[in-house]
A and B are shown apart, each in its own frame.
Chain A
Amino acid sequence: DQQVKQNSPSLSVQEGRISILNCDYTNSMFDYFLWYKKYPAEGPTFLISISSIKDKNEDGRFTVFLNKSAKHLSLHIVPSQPGDSAVYFCAATSPNFGNEKLTFGTGTRLTIIP
Protein backbone atom coordinates (compact mmCIF):
# COMPACT_ATOMS: atom_id res chain seq x y z
CA ASP A 1 0.00 0.00 0.00
CA GLN A 2 2.11 2.84 -1.34
CA GLN A 3 0.57 6.07 -0.11
CA VAL A 4 3.29 8.34 -1.48
CA LYS A 5 4.39 7.74 -5.04
CA GLN A 6 7.21 9.09 -7.12
CA ASN A 7 6.55 7.61 -10.53
CA SER A 8 9.76 8.79 -12.17
CA PRO A 9 12.70 6.75 -10.88
CA SER A 10 15.17 8.99 -12.69
CA LEU A 11 15.47 12.38 -14.35
CA SER A 12 18.30 14.03 -16.30
CA VAL A 13 18.48 17.80 -16.70
CA GLN A 14 21.00 20.13 -18.27
CA GLU A 15 22.89 22.40 -15.91
CA GLY A 16 21.21 25.78 -15.63
CA ARG A 17 17.78 24.49 -16.64
CA ILE A 18 14.82 23.80 -14.38
CA SER A 19 14.43 20.41 -12.67
CA ILE A 20 10.89 19.36 -11.80
CA LEU A 21 10.37 16.38 -9.53
CA ASN A 22 6.86 15.08 -8.98
CA CYS A 23 5.12 13.31 -6.14
CA ASP A 24 1.57 11.99 -5.72
CA TYR A 25 -0.17 10.85 -2.58
CA THR A 26 -3.35 8.93 -1.90
CA ASN A 27 -4.08 9.55 1.79
CA SER A 28 -6.19 12.69 2.20
CA MET A 29 -5.20 12.79 5.89
CA PHE A 30 -1.70 13.93 4.98
CA ASP A 31 -1.33 17.64 5.61
CA TYR A 32 2.40 18.26 5.72
CA PHE A 33 4.86 17.40 2.99
CA LEU A 34 8.63 17.33 2.90
CA TRP A 35 11.42 16.80 0.42
CA TYR A 36 14.64 15.09 1.39
CA LYS A 37 17.80 14.84 -0.66
CA LYS A 38 20.19 11.90 -0.49
CA TYR A 39 23.73 11.52 -1.74
CA PRO A 40 25.30 8.04 -2.12
CA ALA A 41 26.51 6.48 1.13
CA GLU A 42 24.85 9.24 3.16
CA GLY A 43 21.54 9.55 4.96
CA PRO A 44 18.73 11.72 3.60
CA THR A 45 18.91 15.42 4.46
CA PHE A 46 15.94 17.73 4.77
CA LEU A 47 15.49 20.16 1.89
CA ILE A 48 12.15 21.95 2.05
CA SER A 49 8.61 21.43 3.33
CA ILE A 50 5.09 22.71 2.84
CA SER A 51 1.96 22.73 4.94
CA SER A 52 -1.38 21.91 3.33
CA ILE A 53 -2.64 25.40 4.12
CA LYS A 54 -0.23 26.72 1.50
CA ASP A 55 0.16 26.00 -2.18
CA LYS A 56 3.74 27.19 -2.56
CA ASN A 57 6.88 27.45 -0.48
CA GLU A 58 10.14 28.85 -1.76
CA ASP A 59 13.67 28.65 -0.40
CA GLY A 60 16.35 29.99 -2.67
CA ARG A 61 16.57 27.85 -5.79
CA PHE A 62 14.03 25.38 -4.43
CA THR A 63 10.26 25.78 -4.64
CA VAL A 64 7.64 23.24 -3.66
CA PHE A 65 4.14 23.44 -5.10
CA LEU A 66 1.15 21.67 -3.60
CA ASN A 67 -2.11 20.87 -5.41
CA LYS A 68 -4.37 19.40 -2.75
CA SER A 69 -7.29 18.67 -5.04
CA ALA A 70 -5.01 16.60 -7.27
CA LYS A 71 -3.07 15.18 -4.30
CA HIS A 72 0.09 16.20 -6.10
CA LEU A 73 3.20 18.10 -5.20
CA SER A 74 6.28 19.05 -7.12
CA LEU A 75 9.75 20.30 -6.36
CA HIS A 76 11.27 22.84 -8.73
CA ILE A 77 14.99 23.50 -8.76
CA VAL A 78 16.14 26.45 -10.80
CA PRO A 79 18.78 26.88 -11.98
CA SER A 80 19.94 23.28 -11.64
CA GLN A 81 23.55 22.79 -10.57
CA PRO A 82 25.82 19.71 -10.70
CA GLY A 83 25.72 19.48 -6.91
CA ASP A 84 21.97 18.90 -7.14
CA SER A 85 22.62 15.43 -8.55
CA ALA A 86 21.17 13.15 -5.88
CA VAL A 87 18.13 11.05 -5.04
CA TYR A 88 15.15 13.13 -3.94
CA PHE A 89 12.53 11.67 -1.63
CA CYS A 90 9.08 13.06 -1.12
CA ALA A 91 7.54 12.44 2.33
CA ALA A 92 4.19 13.14 3.96
CA THR A 93 2.77 13.17 7.46
CA SER A 94 -0.15 14.29 9.58
CA PRO A 95 -0.69 15.26 13.22
CA ASN A 96 -3.13 12.32 13.27
CA PHE A 97 -0.15 10.06 12.78
CA GLY A 98 1.93 11.88 15.36
CA ASN A 99 3.70 14.21 12.95
CA GLU A 100 6.99 12.38 13.40
CA LYS A 101 5.79 9.41 11.35
CA LEU A 102 6.94 10.21 7.83
CA THR A 103 5.71 8.18 4.86
CA PHE A 104 8.28 8.30 2.08
CA GLY A 105 8.11 7.80 -1.66
CA THR A 106 10.65 5.60 -3.43
CA GLY A 107 12.74 8.50 -4.66
CA THR A 108 13.74 10.07 -7.97
CA ARG A 109 17.38 10.05 -9.01
CA LEU A 110 18.22 13.47 -10.47
CA THR A 111 21.29 13.79 -12.67
CA ILE A 112 22.43 17.25 -13.70
CA ILE A 113 24.38 17.17 -16.94
CA PRO A 114 27.18 19.78 -17.10
Chain B
Amino acid sequence: DTAVSQTPKYLVTQMGNDKSIKCEQNLGHDTMYWYKQDSKKFLKIMFSYNNKELIINETVPNRFSPKSPDKAHLNLHINSLELGDSAVYFCASSQPMGPASGGPNEQFFGPGTRLTVL
Protein backbone atom coordinates (compact mmCIF):
# COMPACT_ATOMS: atom_id res chain seq x y z
CA ASP B 1 0.00 0.00 0.00
CA THR B 2 2.12 2.86 -1.35
CA ALA B 3 2.12 6.05 0.72
CA VAL B 4 3.54 8.43 -1.90
CA SER B 5 3.38 7.27 -5.50
CA GLN B 6 4.70 8.84 -8.68
CA THR B 7 4.04 8.09 -12.32
CA PRO B 8 5.82 7.43 -14.52
CA LYS B 9 8.91 5.89 -12.94
CA TYR B 10 10.97 6.55 -16.09
CA LEU B 11 10.42 9.19 -18.73
CA VAL B 12 12.52 9.56 -21.86
CA THR B 13 11.65 12.38 -24.20
CA GLN B 14 13.00 14.78 -26.80
CA MET B 15 14.08 18.36 -26.22
CA GLY B 16 11.25 20.82 -26.69
CA ASN B 17 8.49 18.44 -25.64
CA ASP B 18 6.02 19.06 -22.83
CA LYS B 19 5.61 16.38 -20.18
CA SER B 20 3.90 15.82 -16.84
CA ILE B 21 4.78 13.79 -13.77
CA LYS B 22 1.99 12.83 -11.40
CA CYS B 23 2.18 12.43 -7.63
CA GLU B 24 -0.38 11.11 -5.19
CA GLN B 25 -0.21 10.57 -1.44
CA ASN B 26 -2.65 8.57 0.66
CA LEU B 27 -1.29 9.70 4.03
CA GLY B 28 -3.80 12.48 4.54
CA HIS B 29 -1.02 15.07 4.59
CA ASP B 30 -1.69 18.72 3.86
CA THR B 31 1.73 19.62 2.44
CA MET B 32 3.34 18.25 -0.70
CA TYR B 33 6.69 18.96 -2.36
CA TRP B 34 8.68 18.50 -5.52
CA TYR B 35 12.44 17.95 -5.33
CA LYS B 36 15.00 17.64 -8.11
CA GLN B 37 18.13 15.49 -7.79
CA ASP B 38 20.59 16.40 -10.51
CA SER B 39 23.57 14.52 -11.90
CA LYS B 40 25.77 15.80 -9.06
CA LYS B 41 23.33 14.24 -6.59
CA PHE B 42 22.15 17.56 -5.17
CA LEU B 43 18.62 17.08 -3.85
CA LYS B 44 16.95 20.48 -4.02
CA ILE B 45 13.44 21.59 -3.23
CA MET B 46 11.53 23.11 -6.12
CA PHE B 47 8.02 23.73 -4.79
CA SER B 48 5.82 23.04 -1.84
CA TYR B 49 2.05 23.25 -1.60
CA ASN B 50 -0.02 23.37 1.56
CA ASN B 51 -3.62 22.32 1.01
CA LYS B 52 -3.46 23.26 -2.68
CA GLU B 53 -1.79 26.62 -1.99
CA LEU B 54 1.77 27.37 -3.17
CA ILE B 55 4.06 27.92 -0.18
CA ILE B 56 7.62 27.51 -1.45
CA ASN B 57 8.72 28.38 -4.96
CA GLU B 58 12.47 28.23 -5.37
CA THR B 59 14.21 29.82 -8.33
CA VAL B 60 12.82 27.37 -10.80
CA PRO B 61 12.28 28.30 -14.48
CA ASN B 62 8.68 29.13 -15.21
CA ARG B 63 8.67 26.23 -17.68
CA PHE B 64 7.97 24.19 -14.54
CA SER B 65 4.41 24.52 -13.31
CA PRO B 66 3.05 22.55 -10.37
CA LYS B 67 -0.66 21.80 -10.28
CA SER B 68 -2.54 20.65 -7.21
CA PRO B 69 -6.11 19.56 -8.07
CA ASP B 70 -6.64 18.49 -4.45
CA LYS B 71 -4.47 18.09 -1.39
CA ALA B 72 -3.69 14.45 -2.20
CA HIS B 73 -2.21 15.26 -5.60
CA LEU B 74 0.62 17.48 -6.79
CA ASN B 75 1.52 17.13 -10.45
CA LEU B 76 4.52 18.69 -12.16
CA HIS B 77 4.19 19.93 -15.72
CA ILE B 78 7.29 20.86 -17.66
CA ASN B 79 7.14 22.83 -20.91
CA SER B 80 9.79 23.00 -23.61
CA LEU B 81 12.05 20.42 -22.03
CA GLU B 82 15.81 21.10 -22.10
CA LEU B 83 18.79 18.80 -21.72
CA GLY B 84 19.50 20.26 -18.28
CA ASP B 85 16.11 19.12 -17.05
CA SER B 86 17.40 15.53 -17.03
CA ALA B 87 17.31 14.48 -13.39
CA VAL B 88 15.41 12.40 -10.87
CA TYR B 89 12.33 14.18 -9.57
CA PHE B 90 10.98 13.25 -6.15
CA CYS B 91 7.59 14.06 -4.75
CA ALA B 92 7.15 14.18 -0.96
CA SER B 93 4.47 14.97 1.59
CA SER B 94 4.22 15.90 5.25
CA GLN B 95 1.97 17.48 7.77
CA PRO B 96 2.58 21.24 7.90
CA MET B 97 2.78 21.71 11.64
CA GLY B 98 5.95 20.66 13.39
CA PRO B 99 6.06 18.56 16.55
CA ALA B 100 6.19 20.10 20.01
CA SER B 101 9.96 20.34 19.70
CA GLY B 102 9.45 22.95 16.98
CA GLY B 103 11.18 21.00 14.29
CA PRO B 104 9.85 19.99 10.92
CA ASN B 105 7.60 17.03 10.44
CA GLU B 106 8.98 14.00 8.66
CA GLN B 107 8.71 14.20 4.90
CA PHE B 108 7.68 11.02 3.11
CA PHE B 109 9.18 10.65 -0.34
CA GLY B 110 7.95 8.90 -3.44
CA PRO B 111 10.22 6.53 -5.38
CA GLY B 112 11.27 9.17 -7.89
CA THR B 113 10.82 9.72 -11.63
CA ARG B 114 13.94 9.55 -13.75
CA LEU B 115 13.56 12.06 -16.56
CA THR B 116 15.94 11.83 -19.50
CA VAL B 117 15.84 14.54 -22.13
CA LEU B 118 17.55 13.64 -25.42
Q: Considering only CB atoms, which chain A residue lies closest to B41 in the complex?
A: A106
Contacts of A104 in B (CB 8 A): 42-44
Q: Kindly supply a per-residue 1/0 record for chain B positions 96-114, scoring 1 wherever the CB is within 8 Å of any chain A CB and 0 otherwise.
A: 1010011111111111100
Of B31, B56, B103, B111, the most chain A CB neighbours within 10 A belong to B103
Please report the C-alpha to C-alpha distance between residue A95 and residue B98 in the assembled complex, in whole angstroms: 10
A43 interface residue (CB < 8 Å to B): yes
Within 8 A of B (CB), among A23-47: 32, 34, 36, 41-46
Complex contacts, A98 vs chain B, CB 8 Å? 55-56
* Cross-chain contact A51 with B101 (CB below 8 angstroms): yes
A43 touches B111 (CB 8 A): yes
A2 to B41, CA, bound (A): 12
Given A32-B104, A43-B111, A102 and B45 touching (CB < 8 A)? yes
Query: Which B residues are in CB contact (< 8 Å) with A93?
Result: 103-104
A99-B105 Cα distance, complex, nearest whole Å: 8
Binding site for B on A (CB under 8 A): 2, 32, 34, 36, 41-46, 49, 51, 89, 93, 95, 98-102, 104, 106-107
Additional A-B contact list (19), CB under 8 Å, known A43-B109, A46-B106: A32-B102, A32-B104, A43-B4, A43-B90, A43-B108, A43-B112, A93-B103, A99-B98, A99-B103, A100-B33, A100-B96, A101-B45, A102-B45, A102-B107, A104-B43, A104-B44, A106-B42, A106-B43, A107-B43
